[in-house]
Structure 1
Amino acid sequence: MTRDVPAAARPAVSGLRERKKAKTRAAIRDAAMGLFAAQGYAATTVEQIAEAAEVSPSTFFRYFPTKEDVVVTDDYDPLIVEAIRAQPPEVPVADAVLLGMRQVFEQLTEAEWESERRRQQLFRTVPELVARQLQATVTAVDMLADVIAERQGVARDDLGARALAGALVGISLTFLPPGRSGPYDAADFDRVRAALVELRAQLDPLTP
């Protein structure tokens, strides 16, 4: 017979479980990135990654469905979505997105920046990852469109919400290039905001 966990203790237990899962996930990714750098992406197997991370192959697959997913999965997108949701409702939606992105990126450690740099380097050098990267970008647009629509109180497939999400992702990729060696700063996000203002100016003459 199992003993019931007191209600007051459940959040702490849940928090500990999530931290352990995050630690295991990070260990798997760090081990994979080290092996990719040492012997190449193609030569590295799931079994080697699991051994280096000191987990079983079945544990690997609980965190990453395939070897490609170690590289493709972006751990920061869900954090950005939650940071956007946390912005006060009076903040304009585009500013809420930029503030959410900035809050997440400002908290990254040097080790996390280095891991992200190596991840982006793989996208540039491993042909079989290109298609998955494109799909990951589409997924990022979908996630961002959902949270924008949520803040605007419109349907998830709203044309304006999806257009804004696509513009934000495109401009961010242009002015916050992935894989850079150091963190983004306030000036980087100011450039993104200025680019959005310029985009609006460019689109204003369009005839509906």
Structure 2
Amino acid sequence: MTAARGRTSRPASRPTGRPPLTDERKAAIRLEIARAAVDLFVTQGVAATTGEQIGAAVGVSSRTVWRYFPSKENCVRPLFSAGIDLIADCLRRWQPGQPLEELLDQELADEQHELAGPDRATVGALVRLTRTEPGLRAIWLQTYDEAEPAFARALGERAGLPADDLRPTIQAAIFNAALRAAVEHYAWHTADTRPDGATARTELAATLRLALGVAAEGVG
């Protein structure tokens, strides 16, 4: 049986739906969600904040929020890890004989860096919440725990040491503890103040600079 005359072939189907998100856009969405979560946590507390509220603040559904984060406490993880990523990069590029604080100053001069938070004026408030919110405290400590191997790799690469060498591992633990102590010190000591963005940036940078300097000098 032959095909009917005059019948035209069906056009090739075209892809439908939205194009896939780029990695850059996904990272931007994660950061938007994180910023919204922090604002809500600081103003009304973690328990009173819902996924629906976080999503509404960003203009996405709660389903999108849960697609990026397994829990509302996890939403702040990109903010906790921002400063850690910066320090790991500094350690990797730290030249022998160069003061680490000097390299950090160069990095912090770049306004594009999101140093440990969405708005440096709210970093203290966010970290202070980790004192009373067990879920946030767990994310805070887990972030630093996961950062330590990155610090060790950076220090090992700098010194040309093998991956299993103990020395960069110990040095990484020192730097890790110094960073966490510095940010917490900053948070506790700004509890009664509300510095503007520029002031908060300067004060937090100075605290980190001091901590890294002390860690670089070592004990004794």
1:38 — aligned with what?
43
Show CA shifts across 1:16-61 (max 9, x none). Answer: 9455444322321222122223332012121221122111233323
Please tell me the residue identity of whatever aligns with 2:43: A
Larger Rg computed on CA atoms? 2
- Which structure shows the higher helix fraction? 1
Q: Which moved more, 1:17-26 or 1:127-136?
A: 17-26
8 A contact 1:64–1:70 mirrored in 2: yes
Once the two structures are overlaid, the 10-residue window that deviates more, 45-54 or 57-66, is 57-66
Pair 1:26 & 2:46 matched: no
SS in 2 for 1:42: coil
Change (3 A) 1:57 1:136: same
Which ranges in structure 2 are unaligned for 5 or more consecutive residues?
A: 1-11, 13-20
Secondary structure class of the residue paired with 1:75:
helix
Residue among 75, 78, 83 paired with 2:82: 75
1:197 corresponding residue in structure 2: 217
Residue 71 of structure 2: aligned partner:
66
1:166: how far off? 0.9
> Aligned-residue CA RMSD in angstroms?
3.4
Alpha-carbon distance, 1:186 to partner: 5.4
Partners of 1:76 and 1:115 in 2: how far apart?
A: 14
Residues 7-156 of structure 1 correspond to what in structure 2 (within 5 A)?
17=22, 19-73=24-78, 74-85=81-92, 87=93, 91-92=95-96, 95-96=99-100, 98-99=101-102, 101-106=104-109, 107=111, 108=113, 112-156=119-163
| Residue in 2 that maps onto 1:160 | 167
Q: Percent identity?
A: 29
* CA deviation string 1:46-99 (max 9, x = no partner): 1221122111233323432321212244223223323443x36xx128845x45
Task: Determine the C-alpha separation between the residues in 2 that align with 1:94 and 1:138.
Answer: 27
Contact 1:120 1:178 (C-alpha < 8 Å) held by counterparts: no
SS at match of 2:46: coil
* Alignment CA distance shift 1:47-1:103 (3 Å): farther
Unpaired stretches in structure 1, ≥5 consecutive residues: 2-15, 202-208
> May I ask how many residue pairs the two structures share in their alignment?
183
**Matches of 1:94 and 1:65, distance apart in 2:** 41
Partner of residue 4, structure 1: none
Change (3 A) 1:94 1:159: farther
Give the TM-score normalised by the residue count of structure 1. 0.69
Higher relative CO (CA 8 A, sep ≥ 6), structure 1 or 2?
2
Change beyond 3 A, Cα 1:133–1:165? same
Distance 2:182 2:57 in 1: 36
| 1:188 CA drift (Å) | 5.7
